[in-house]
Structure 1
Amino acid sequence: MYFSFTCSLSRSRIHSSLIFLFLLFFAGAAFAQTAGTLKGTVKTSDGKPAEFVNIQIRETDQGTSVTQSGHYTIHNIKPGTYTIVASFISLNTQSKQVTITAAKTEVLDFVLTENEKQLTEVYIKSYKANKFLKKETIDVAKLPLKNLENPQVYSVVTSELMKEQSVTNFNDAYKNIPGAGVPLVYNNGRSSLLSRGFTTENLVRNGISGFDYNSVDPANIEKIEAIKGPSGTLFSSTLASFGGLFNRVTKKPFDTFKGEVTYSAGGFDLNRLTADINTPLNADKTALFRINTAVHSEHSFQDQGFTRSIFFAPSFSYKVNDRLDLQLDAEISNYNATSAYRFAPFTGASSKVHSIKDLGINYNLSFINNSLDYNSQQFDLFGQINYKLSEHWKSQTAFTRTFSTTKGFVTQLTGVSDSTLKQSLQKEDFPYYGTDVQENVIGDVQVAGLRNRVVIGIDVYNQKSNRDYATVTMPTINFKHPGAAYDNYNVDKVNSLAATAPYTYYQTNQTIYAAYASDVINLTDQLSMMASLRVDRINNKGTYYPKVDSAAGKYGQTSLSPKFGLVYQVLKDRVSVFGNYMNGFSNVAGTDFTGTTFKPQYANQWETGVKLDIWDHKISSTISYYHISVTNTLRTDPDHPAFSLQDGTQLSKGVEAELIANPLRGLNIIAGYAYNNSVYTKADASVIGLRPAASGPDKMANLWISYQFMDGKVKGLGFGMGGNHGSQSYQTNTATAKFTIPAYTIIDATAFYDQPKYRFGLKLDNLTNQQYWSFRLAPQNPARLTASMSIKF
C-alpha cells in the first residue's frame, strides 16, 4: 500500500511538471515575440578584443560579460530606450543609448580607452605577488603608457616599500633608486640627489611644478618616480636637471571609508604621529575626501640640532558627471629647525689633508647652537580638471599655487686651515612664490590605420622671491680643540653682531611660456615610435635691487627641445628593446667679453637598453647604457678672467640596471647598480679631463630583500635586510686641489607583523654604525632603532 501510494504520487507530480513546462515554453515563445536582443563587439583603442568587460542595462538588472573574442549578447529585452554601460577596471567607462524593438536584434559596438587613474589599481591587483612593482604611470610621458611601451627609463618607489622600511624621512626612500646617492640636505629641509652624475632637486609633484623650498613629508606620498635623462621636452627646465627629475605622486581619495594611524619612536628622540583618513562624502560616492597629516619631532645625533614640524594634506575629488571630474588638494606645514650641516674644507696650497676621513673634525659635534634656528612655512594649493571631450579625446587642466618661506638663521662652516674653521650665518626672511598653469589635450586615435596616442600641451610658469638678509661671521676657532669659543655661537651673540651688519634686499621674477606635443605611434603591434617637441620662452626680469632701482641679469631666451624613441617588443608584454634621443636645456644669464648674450646650455642624450616583465610579472628589470653630452657650458675666459666663454663641454655616460623580483611567494627583491663616467671634455685648465666633484661616486649599488609569511599561524610576519654602497667621491676635484669623500657601505634591517587591523614594525638603520658623508660633508646618522605601531580601520 505504501509503495503503491508513493508511485501514484510521483506520477502525478511528473504529469503536473510536464504541463507546467509546456505552458512555460509557450509563454516564453510569446514573450520572445514581444522582446528584443542586443549584441555587439567591444574593443580597446588599439583594436584588440576587450574581454571580460561588463555590459549592463542601466534601467534594468540585465547584463553580461564580453567573451574572449570581444562579443556580447543580451536576450529578452523589453522594447524601449535604454542606456547601455560598458565598464572594466583600467578602461574608461562608456555609455550609449539604444532603442530595442520587439522581435529584432540591435547592434551596439564599443571602443574603450585606457583609464590612467585606474591603470595603477589594476596593475596592483594583477601583480599582487610582486608587491613593489608599480611601474604604470601617466606622468612620465604625460600619456597612459605601460613601462614596456615607454622608451624612457624610470624607477618607482612605492608607499608599500616605504612602509616596510619604516621610512620617516622623505630622503630615506631614495635608497631604493639606482644612482641616487647620499641626499644633499639644504636649509628648510629640502633636498637633492643624483641622477646620472647631475645634482637633481625634488621640484615636481604629480607631473607639474611642486616648487617648494620646504622639506617634503612622506606622509602624503603614494610613490616616487625617478625619471632618468634630460627631460626638457615635457617638463620645464627649472624643474629638471640634465640627469632627469624626481616626481612625487601624492595619495588620492577613493570611494570607501578607510583609515590608518601610525606612531613611530626611535633614537635621537624621534617621535612621529601620522594619520591617513579617507571617506566618501555622499551616498553615490561622487564626492570623496582624504586627509594625510603628520606631527614630527627629532634631535640630531650630534650635540646640537633639531627638527619639529606639523603637516596637513587635505585632498578632495568630485565627479560631476561621466565626462567631468574635479580634484583639489593642498599641502600645509610649519617647520622649525636648525640649519642643515654644511662644511666647505680648506683646500689651499698649504693643506696637507685631502680627505674628510683624515681631517679629524669631530663627527658628533655640530658647531652650531639650538638657539640659531629658523621657522619655515608652506601653503601649496593644487587643482586638476578632467573633461572627456569625446570617446577619443580628453582635456586635463592643472594648476598650482605655492608659497614657502624661511625666517631665521641659516648657518655654514668654512675651513680656514687643516685645523680651524669659521662659523657664519645669514639672518634672513626669504619667501618664494610659484604659479603654474598647464593644459593638456590627450587623445587616442587611429590615423591611416595606425594607433596614435597624443598629448598637446601648453604651460605657463612663474616664480618670484623676495630676500632680506644680513651676514654674520664669527672668529676662527680650532675645530679639534674648540674650547670655550664653541659656546659663543649663540643667538644673543649673533644678534649683537647682526645689529651692525648691513642688510641686503632683492627680488627675483621669471616667467616661462611653453608649448609641447608628443605622439606615440604603433607602427605594428610590437613596434612603436615616439616623437616629441617643446618650445620654451623664458622672460627673466633679473635680480631687482630697490636701493639702486635697477635689475641685474635681466634676459630672455627661447629654446627648442626634441625627443625621439623607438620600442620593439621582442615578446609582446614581456620583453622590449628600446632606444631614445632626448634633450634638456638650462637657461644662462649674462654675456661674454664682447657683450654677446649667452645661449641656453643643452644636454643631448642617446640611450639603448632592454626592459623585462616576465614570469607572470615576478621579474621586472631594466638595463640600459646612456650617453649625455652637455654643450654651451661656461668656462673662464683666459684672456679676460672677469668674463666667461660659452664653449665648454661635459660628457656623462654609464650603465644602469634595476631588478624587482618575486621569485618565491612572500619573497621580494629590489636591486640596482649604477656606473657613471662624467668628465669635462672642454673647460678651464683646472678641471679639464677631470670628474666634476658634484657628480658623486662613479659606482653605486642598492639592495633590499624581504620575506613575509603568507600562510599559517605566523601569516603577516616578515623580515627585511638590505644596503647601499657608493665608491669614493670628491668634494673638490681640480688639477691643484683634491678633497675626497670615502666609499661607504650601509646595511639596514627590519622586522614587522602586519595584520588587517594593526601593524608592528622595527627598523635598524646603519646597523654597522658606518661613518659616511654627503657631498656637503654633512655627517650621516649612525645606527638608529625605530619602532612603529599602526592601527587600521
Structure 2
Amino acid sequence: MNKNIFAFLLSICFSLFAIAQEKGTLRGNIVASDNSPIENATVTVNGTRFGTQTDANGEFEIKNLKAGSYILKTSSVGFTTKETSFFVSENQPTTLPSITLNSKNETLEEVVITGNVNRYTKSESEYVSRMPIKNIENSQVYSVVTKELMKDQLITSQDEALKNVPGLYQIWAATGRTGDGGSLFASRGFVTQSLLRNGIAGKITNNVDASNLERLESIKGPSATLFGSQLTSYGGLINRVTKKPYENFGGEISYQSGSYGLNRITADVNTSLNADNTALLRVNGAYNNTNTFQDYGHTRSYFIAPSFSYQVNEKLNISIDAELSNVDASSMPLMYLHWGQTPNSLGINNANDIDMNWKRSFTGGEFMMNTKTANIFAQANYQMSEKWKSQTLFSTSSNQSFGPQIWFYLLPNNEMERNAWNIDGRDNILEFQQNFNGEFDVLGMKNRFLVGGDIFRIETKSGLGYLPSFWYFDTVNYSGATPTYYDFNPGKIESLLAEGTLAKTHSAVTTYSAYVADVINVTDALILSAAVRFDHFDNNGIFDPATNTTTGAFSQNAFSPKFGLVYQILQDQISVFGNYQNSFKNVMNTNVGATESFNPEQANQFEAGLKFNVFQDKLSASLSYYNIEVKDIVRATSTPGISVQDGNQTSKGFEAEITSNPIPGLNFIIGYAFNNSKLNKVSDAQLIGLRPETAGPETMINYWISYSLQNTSLKGLGFGFGGNYGSENYIFNKNVVVDGNLTGVQTFALPSYSVVNAALYYDQPKYRLSLKVNNLTDELYFIGGYTTVNVQSPRTIMGSVAYKF
C-alpha cells in the first residue's frame, strides 16, 4: 500500500516537473519613438489568454507560457498597434528587444533605442494638462514621485513620499478634523493640501496610505484654470495617481515592522475576471498599527482600495474605484505660541530654547479620534473617433470625524496650557466632470484641444463640544516635575464635555465651471498653449440650527486664464518655456453685521525656465524662476472674529530638480528650492514687508541616491541614502510698532534642519527584503506654521519582507 502511494506521489512530481519544464517567461519593454516608456500599454499573446499591461517604466512580464513560437500584440491609445514574433524556451526567461510604438500622427520610420531606465521620473502625464503631453512640451512645472522611488525608500504614507518634492514643506501632520483635517503643506509660499485623486476630488482627512499609490504629482503654481479654486492653492496642488488593474494574475504581499511598535501588512492582488481579459480587478489594502515615540500616542488604521475595469468594446472602457479607510489616532498634540503672547513675553525666540523633554506627551491616556473615509470614483472613456475621445468622471467623497482633539499653548516661565474639545462632523463632496479631447490641424499646425465642464459641491456638518471653560483644562510646568501630569486624560475630558456646550453648523458650496484649452504646434519646435475657465460660485452660507439663522451666503463669478510657450532647442531633449497662470479664491465674509461680500482674491504667476530630457532619457531636469502676486487678500485681524481684505503677497523663487540614471543600477533625484515671500500694503503695520508665518523655510533641499548591483551573483542587492534640508523657519514674524513707528522685528524660529535617511534592500523576482533607517543622525528638529511647533520623530528603524506572485 505504501509503495503504491509512493509511486503515485512520484508520478505526480514527475508530471509537475515535466509541466514546469515546458513553461517559460516573457519580458520586455514598450517605448514611444522618442524612447520614452509607454505606461499602461496593452500586451497580449495572440491565440492565448495571456496578457498584461506595462508599468510606469514601460516594462511587462508574462509568465507560464508553454515552449513554442508566438506573436505578441502591443497597443496603446494614440499609438499604432504592432505585432512581434518571439520564441519561448523551456523553463527559461525570454527577453525581447525594446518594442517601439509610433504615435498615430507620426510618419517617421521606427527608431529602436535601448538603454537604462530613469526610475525616478515620468516623461508624460495625462493629468497636468488634462491631455497626454510630454513634460518637455509642457509649459507648466510639476514634480513626480514614482512608485519605484517610494519602494526604494520603504515609504508607508503620502506625507513621507512628498518629502521628495522640491520646495514642498509640511506645516503640520493630518489631524483628522472635519473640514481641514488633512496634512497642510507650503508650496511656493502658500498653504496647500492633497485633495485630488486622478485629477478629480478625492479628499482624505487623514494621512493617505501609500499602498495604493502609483505615483504622486505636485503641480506647481496657481492652477485654477484646469482644476478650479476649491481643490488648489496659489502655490500649487497635489494629485495622487492610483494603481490600476492589468491583464494578468499577480500581486504582492508584504509585512513591515520597526521602531515604536510598528506593525504593517499590505496586499496587492490583481486578476482577470473572464477569459477574454475584458473584466479586470485589482485590490490594494493595508493594516497599520504603530505608536509615537512619546509615552502616549497611537495610531491604528485599515485601508482598502478596490479597482474594477471593464472593456465594453473597442471604443468604450468603464472603471469603478473606491477608497475605504478607518483610522483611530491619538497623534502628538499641536503646540502653539499662545495668541496672547509674543517671543519677548515668553523669553525665548527659538524652538531649541524650549526646555522640554520631548518624549513626554503631557497626557494621561490615549485621546483617540476616529476618522472614516468612503470615496467612490467612476470613469467612462469613449473613443469617439481616431482623434477624438470623451472622458466622463464622477466622484463622491465622504469623511467623518469623531472624538477629542487636544493642543497646547506655550506660556512664560516654562508653562503651557493644556486644551481640548470634541470633534463631531462630516463632509461630503460630489463632483461630476466631462472632458472632450481631440486633435486637428489648422493651417498646417497641430492642435491638441480640450473642452470640458465641471460641477463641484461640498457639504459640511461640523460640531464642536466645549469644556465648561471653553477649551481650557489647566496650566502646567513642562520643564520639571508635573504633579498633575496624568490629570489630562480621556476620562476627565469626557466628563467635562458633558458639562460643557455644543456648537453645530451646516454649510454648502456649489461651483459650476466650464473650461477650454488648446496646445498648438506652430512648428515642430515652437508650442503655444492657452486656456480659460469660467466659474459660477454659489455659497449657501453657514446655517446654525440652534438659532435657525444663516450668515454669509453669496454668489460670485470668476474667470481664470492661462498661457504658455515652449521652444524646443533640441527636439524632445531641451526646451525653454514660459507661462502665465491664474488662480482665485472666493472668501466668505463672516464679520458680524457684514452686508457685502469680499471680492475674489486673485493670484497671477509669471514663470520661465529650462527643461532637459537628454542622453536617451538618462538625465531629466527642470530649472525655473517664478513670480507670484496675490491681490485682495482676506486675512484675520488681531480682533477675534474680524477679517479684512487689504494688501497683497508677492512670492518669488527658483526651483531645480534633477533625476538621472547615469549607469546601470544607479538612480538619483536632487531638488533645490528658494522662496522669497512678503506681505505688502497691508493695513497692519506689524506685517508689512515680512514673510508670512505659513510660508515655510526660504531654502529647501531634497535628495536620494540608490544603487543596485548588476550582473553579479548578488544582482538585486542595493542600497540608498538621502534626506532633506530646510533653512530656519519663522512661525512668528511681526514688526514691533511703537507710537506708529517700526522699531524692530520679533520672531520665533524653528531652527534649520538636516535629516539623513538610509536603506538597504535585496530585490528578487519572487521576493524583496528591505531595511530602512530614518533620521540616521537622530537629529532633533521641528516643522510648523500658523505659530505651531511640531517636534518630529527621532531615529527610527524598520524592516520589510515582500512576496511577489
Question: For the superposition of Structure 1 and Structure 2, which TM-score range results when normalised by the shorter chain?
Answer: 0.7 to 0.9
Partner of 1:253: 245
Gaps of 5+ in 1: 1-43, 47-52, 60-84, 96-109, 115-121
CA contact (8 A) 1:424 1:471 kept: no
Bigger mean CA offset, 247-256 vs 586-595: 586-595
What is the one-letter code of the residue matched to 2:606? W
SS of the aligned residue for 1:557 comes to strand
Superposition TM-score, scaled by structure 2 size: 0.83
Q: 1:445 aligns with which of 424, 440, 447?
A: 440
Match status 1:148 vs 2:136? yes
Compute the displacement of 1:597 (Å). 2.3
Tell me whether 1:336 sits opposite 2:328 in the alignment. Answer: yes
Q: What is residue 709 of structure 1 aligned with on the other side?
A: 709
User: What is the SS of the residue equivalent to 2:125?
Assistant: coil
Contact 2:185 2:192 in 1 (8 A): yes
* Alpha carbons 2:296, 2:366 under 8 Å: kept: no
1:431-580 maps to which residues of 2 (within 5 A)? 431-472=426-467, 473-580=472-579
Give the CA deviation at 1:92. 4.5
Kept after mapping to 2: 8 A contact 1:187/1:340:
no
Return the match for 2:755 from 746, 762, 765: 746
Segments of 5+ residues of structure 2 without an aligned counterpart are 1-31, 35-40, 48-71, 83-101, 737-745
Q: Higher mean Cα deviation, 209-218 or 746-755?
A: 209-218
Residue of structure 2 in register with 1:648 after alignment? 647
* Displacement after TM superposition at 1:363 (Å): 1.4
1:338–1:45 Cα change, 3 Å:
same
Report if the CA contact (8 A) 2:394-2:431 is conserved.
yes
**Secondary structure of 1:129's aligned partner:** coil
Q: 1:240 to 1:666 in 2, by over 3 A?
A: same
Alpha carbons of structure 1 residues 769 and 531: separation in structure 2 relative to 1, 3 Å: same
Shift of the 720–183 alpha-carbon distance from structure 1 to 2, 3 Å rule, reads farther
SS for the counterpart of 2:474 is coil
Deviation at 1:375, TM superposition (A): 1.1
Q: 1:492 to 1:380 in 2, by over 3 A?
A: same
**SS at structure 2 position matched to 1:365:** coil
Residue 425 of structure 2 is matched in structure 1 by 430
Letter in 2 for 1:425: A
2:276 aligned to 277, 281, 284, which one?
A: 284
Q: Is the 8 A contact 2:636 2:644 kept in 1?
A: yes
Give distance in 1, aligned partners of 2:637 and 2:664: 62
Aligned partners of 1:213 and 1:432 also within 8 Å = no
Q: CA deviation at 1:340?
A: 4.4
Cα deviation code 1:582-628 (max 9, x no counterpart):
00111111188995421111110000000000011111000000000
Cα distance between partner residues in 2 of 1:792 and 1:379 = 28
State the 1:705 CA deviation. Answer: 0.8
Contact persistence 2:116–2:664 (CA under 8 A)? no
Residue 18 of structure 1 is matched in structure 2 by: none
Higher Rg of the two aligned structures: 1
1:399 and 2:394 aligned: yes
What's the RMSD between the two structures over aligned residues? 2.7
Change (3 A) 1:548 1:181: same
Structure 1 residues 562, 280: closer, same or farther in 2, change over 3 A?
same
| Structure 2: distance between partners of 1:700 and 1:343 | 23
Q: Is structure 2 residue 774 aligned with structure 1 residue 765?
A: yes
C-alpha change, 1:371 and 1:139, in structure 2 (3 Å) is same
How many Å separate the matches in 2 of 1:344 and 1:526? 53
Q: Distance in 2 between matches of 1:501 and 1:358?
A: 36
Q: 1:578 to 1:764 in 2, by over 3 A?
A: same
Q: Is the 8 A contact 1:434 1:462 kept in 2?
A: yes
Which residue of 51, 75, 78 maps to 1:91?
78
Mapping for residues 543-622 of structure 1, pairs under 5 Å: 543-590=542-589, 595-622=595-622
Alignment CA distance shift 1:637-1:131 (3 Å): closer
Contact 1:591 1:597 in 2 (8 A): no
Correspondence for 1:358: 353
| Pair 1:632–1:45, CA change in 2 (3 A) | farther
CA positional deviation for 1:739:
1.0
Q: Which residue of 1 aligns with 2:67?
A: none
The CA distance in 1 between the partners of 2:219 and 2:442, in whole Å, is 30
Cross-structure match for 2:97:
none
Instruction: Give the whole-Å Cα distance in 2 for the aligned partners of 1:642 and 1:382.
Output: 38
1:383-415 deviation line (CA, Å, top 9, x unaligned): 100011112111100011111111111111112
| Candidates 301, 305, 321, aligned match of 2:313 | 321
Residues 142-191 of structure 1: CA deviation (Å, up to 9, x unaligned): 01000010000000001111011001232111121101124521312731
Aligned residue identity for 2:665: G
The alignment of Structure 1 onto Structure 2 pairs a total of residues equal to 695
Contact 2:453–2:515 (Cα < 8 Å) also in 1: yes
Could you tell me whether the CA contact under 8 Å between 1:764 and 1:784 is conserved in 2? yes
Shift of 1:417: 2.3
1:87 shift after superposition: 6.3
CA contact (8 A) 1:45 1:444 kept: no
Give the Cα separation in 2 of the matches to 1:619 and 1:323. Answer: 36
Q: Which secondary structure state, in structure 1, belongs to the residue aligned with residue 124 of structure 2?
A: coil
Residue of structure 1 equivalent to 2:153: 165
| Structure 1, 572-581 or 203-212: larger mean CA deviation | 203-212
DSSP 3-state at the match of 2:353:
helix
Shift in CA distance, 642/323, structure 1 to aligned 2, threshold 3 Å: closer
Aligned partner of 1:269 in structure 2 is 261
Conserved? CA contact 1:518–1:532, under 8 Å: yes
Cα separation, 2, equivalents of 1:642 and 1:422: 22
Query: In the aligned structure 1, how far is the partner of 2:485 from the partner of 2:519?
Result: 62
Deviation at 1:311, TM superposition (A): 0.7
| 1:323 to partner: Cα distance | 0.7
Deviations 1:436-481 (A, max 9, x none): 1000011111122211101111010111111222123211111113
> TM-score, normalising length from structure 1?
0.84
